[in-house]
Every structure is written in structure tokens, then in C-alpha cells.
Amino acid sequence: MSDAVAPVDQVPPAPKLLALGLQHVLVMYAGAVAVPLIIGRALRLPPEQVALLVNADLFACGIATLIQSLGIGPFGIRLPVMMGVTFAAVGPMLAMAGNPELGLLGIFGSCIGAGIFTILVAPFVSRLLPLFPPIVTGAVILMIGISLMRVGVNWAAGAPVSSIPGYGAPLNLGVAAAVLVLILVITKYASGFFANIAVLIGIVAGCGLAYALGKMGFAKVESAPWFGLIMPFQFGMPKFDFVAIVTMSVVMIVVMIESAGMFLALGDMTGKKITRDDMTRGLRTDGIGTLVGGIFNTFPYTSFSQNVGLVGVTGVRSRWVTVAGGAMLLAMGLVPKLGALMESVPVFVLGGAGIVMFGMVAATGIRILAGVDYKTNRNNLFIVAISVGFGMIPLVAPDFFKELPKSLSPILHSGILLTAFSAVLLNLFFNGVKSAEEAAAEVQAAAAKSEAH
């Protein structure tokens, strides 16, 4: 590869590209299909319609990922980003699902409306970049990693929540530990290509072990059809309800703030400076993904943070890897057998990999914070301490805000957002706001200092 080509734009050889793309797909698959399964079951849809929701989701994931990674006109940040359905919208969508006047078609209508809203407001949100100096981005990225770690730990236990039977079974923990150890051994002793696909090797080996122990089967793969076309409005024409659209638009503001933190993290990992125009294109793609989701019978989209962790683990910065992953998701949406194959991977196998990847996101935040000046500005210690403390509230005390209005739930139950809001406000209080040029210089200085460490 030419030295003149930036790492983020370099194209790996085809075999390596496919393996690295598959690794990204495996990492995000469980999270990608969880939301359509939750909504489909809440609506008590028949199995074939739930399967259609899953395939539509994978299809739209592929489209949104290709737009985000490749870049098409004013859309796409052109970084190694995988797109998937956001969990921030689950609460509002469950409320819509329980309303007979809205139901699934009301959800799709709200997605279309919120997608258009996001596309329109993305340039205004991107203007907030001067509010995110390293002290803020480092704290937010640290909290992203801490929040995700809960997901990885639950995966390792074998279920998303502890109330599900089998949660924490010794076999689940043992396989997850074996995957984790194998990834660490490969990372230490392998080099080049094999080191880059350490997570993929760990997951494949974990699947083999789970199959040998009778915990993984392929019955769903055998029964799934080879081809299934995804058509727009397959469930009927969407219903456009003003309140539902406003509710989903509020969720998308939350999603954009979280996405901004992830883009800044990826910019740090890949060595690419994120400009205001880059941020606008990336946030617009959250909107176009959500619009496409509403049209193709699925839900709001965001940049998946677990894949940011994978970039940190592998050190592979090429966006063409996630382009390959997006193409695979597109194929999985059209070839149900492929989707069924990915779904057959037990979550406890993914858990061992998740602990590594999500920890890497937190470590990236710590590395950014290491470049912040605490010696001559002690107030920066207060910013980190209090903002991370606020972010921990939903994790350690889920009922802390239960007496407050439910309309605030998307904000109050997101540790990432609580950290972002508190860090921004405390930084403004202690340090004031800098111009865009001063903020960019501070980011570069902090990056150089953290690299020196």
C-alpha cells in the first residue's frame, strides 16, 4: 500500500478484508438483531413476521453502514463505522407498540419523520464541536466503554439480563473465559494478519467449543430460505403521528450526541482529524439510516460503539473493512440462511470478546484524559470526577430517577449522556468556551501528549 494513502483509506488484500469485515459483523450482530426481536415479541407478531423484521434490519444495517463508511455526497463520515439499531429508541417504541392507534406502522412513520429531522439539524449539532475539548471527549469515551462493559459482562453470563434462566452458568462463564484467554494469547504471540483477526479467531473457536458441548446448533440455518427480498412498506403504509415523530426526534438528538463522541473516539484511533464537515456528514447518516429504516420496515440507526472497541483492539484503521462488513450485512438481509448462521452464535461466546473490546473503548478515553493538563489546572480533576460520577448513576442505581417524568428517561437513563452534559457544563463553568481554532489546537496538543505517554 502506498505511503501517500492515509491509513483510514488503505484497502487491505481481499482475504484479509473479508476476514476483518466478518469480524466486525460478528461483533455487532447480537446487538443488531436484539431490537427487532424485542419489538416483534412485544407486538406478538408471528415468527415469520419477526424473521422479516430481523432480515429487514440487517438489510438496512448494510445500507447505512455502506453510506457511512464509503461516503456518498453529503452523507458518510468515511471512517470504519458499523451502523445498527439504537437501543435508545426501545422505550419509546415499546410505548408506541402498546398504543393500538400506532403499533408497528406508527413506529415506522415516526422513524421516517425523525430521520428527516436528523438530516436537517445535523449541521447545527456539528457546530457544537468547540464544546468537546479533550477533557470532555475523554470523559465521554471513558463512560462509553464503562457502559458497554455491562453489556459484555452480561453476554459472558449468557443472557442480556440476570432474570433469564441459565444466567451465569459455569459453562457460559467457562467458554467466555476461554475465548478471552485465546484472544489475549493470539494478541501477544501472533503478528500481522493473525493478530488483527484475534477476535474473529476467538469467536470461531468459541463456537466450535459451544457446538462440542451441545450449546450451539444449526437447525435454524437448515430451515431458513436461501433468498428473501426486502421490499419497502412490506407491513403497510406508515402512520404519521405528530407526537410519535417528536418523541423519536428527541431520541435522535440523544443518538447524535452519542454518535459525536464515537466519531471523536474513532478520529483519535485512526489518526484522522474530525472537522465540522466530517461530523455533519456522519450525523446526517444517522438520519438517512433512520429514514431508510422506516421505509424498509425497521427502526432508528446509530453508529455501533462496540465496533469502535474492535478498531482499538485490532489497530486496523481502514474504513474499507467496515465497507466489507456492510456488504455482508446487506447479503445477510437478502439471504436468510446467512442471518440464521450468525444468530446461532451463543451470546456467551461473544462475551469473552466483548470484555476485551469494550475495555479498549474505556482505555481510549483514559489515554485521551492522560493528555489533559491537571498540574496547572486542578479544576480539570473536578470535571472528570463529577462527570464520570454522574455517568455511573444509571449503572449502579437504575431507580435513582424513577420519580422524575418518564419523558426524560432517554436522557436520565443514559450514563453516556449524563457524562456528556455534566462534562460540557462543568468545562464551561471552569474553563469557558474556546474558539474552534483554539479547541482544535488543544485537541492536537493533548493527542501529542498522550502519544508521548
Once rounded to an integer, what is the mean pLDDT over residues 75-91? Answer: 82
Once rounded to an integer, what is the mean pLDDT over residues 184-197? Answer: 75
C-alpha cell at 78: 468515511
C-alpha cell at 149: 462493559
Tell me the torsion sign for CA atoms 47, 88, 112, 115. Answer: negative
Q: Say if residues 168 and 162 touch (Cβ distance below 8 Å).
A: yes
Confidence of residue 407 (pLDDT cuts 50, 70, 90): low
Lowest mean pLDDT among 27-36, 343-352, 412-421: 27-36
Once rounded to an integer, what is the mean pLDDT over residues 398-402? Answer: 83
Q: Say if residues 169 and 367 touch (Cβ distance below 8 Å).
A: no
pLDDT score, position 452: 45
Confidence of residue 447 (pLDDT cuts 50, 70, 90): very low
- For residue 452, how many other CB atoms are within 10 A of its CB? 8
Once rounded to an integer, what is the mean pLDDT over residues 242-257? Answer: 79
84 pairs with which residues across the strands? 302
Percent of the chain exceeding pLDDT 90 equals 12
Q: Model pTM greater than 0.85?
A: no
Lowest mean pLDDT among 65-74, 150-159, 295-304, 381-390: 150-159
pLDDT score, position 439: 55
Once rounded to an integer, what is the mean pLDDT over residues 161-170? Answer: 78
C-alpha cell at 28: 455487532
Confidence of residue 326 (pLDDT cuts 50, 70, 90): very high
Angstrom distance (rounded) from CA 37 to CA 32: 10
C-alpha cell at 34: 436484539
Once rounded to an integer, what is the mean pLDDT over residues 87-102? Answer: 73
In the three-class reduction of DSSP (H, G, I as helix; E, B as strand; rest coil), residue 301 is classed as strand
Give the C-alpha distances (Å, rounded to integers) separating 2 from 6, 11, 368.
9, 10, 29
pLDDT score, position 114: 92
Chain-wide mean pLDDT for the chain?
80
In the three-class reduction of DSSP (H, G, I as helix; E, B as strand; rest coil), residue 387 is classed as helix
Tell me the torsion sign for CA atoms 73, 120, 254, 372. Answer: positive
pLDDT score, position 438: 59
Confidence of residue 386 (pLDDT cuts 50, 70, 90): very high
Angstrom distance (rounded) from CA 47 to CA 360: 37
pLDDT score, position 192: 64
Once rounded to an integer, what is the mean pLDDT over residues 335-360? Answer: 75
Angstrom distance (rounded) from CA 226 to CA 65: 23
Once rounded to an integer, what is the mean pLDDT over residues 193-219? Answer: 78
Confidence of residue 288 (pLDDT cuts 50, 70, 90): very high
pLDDT of 364 over the 90 cut: no
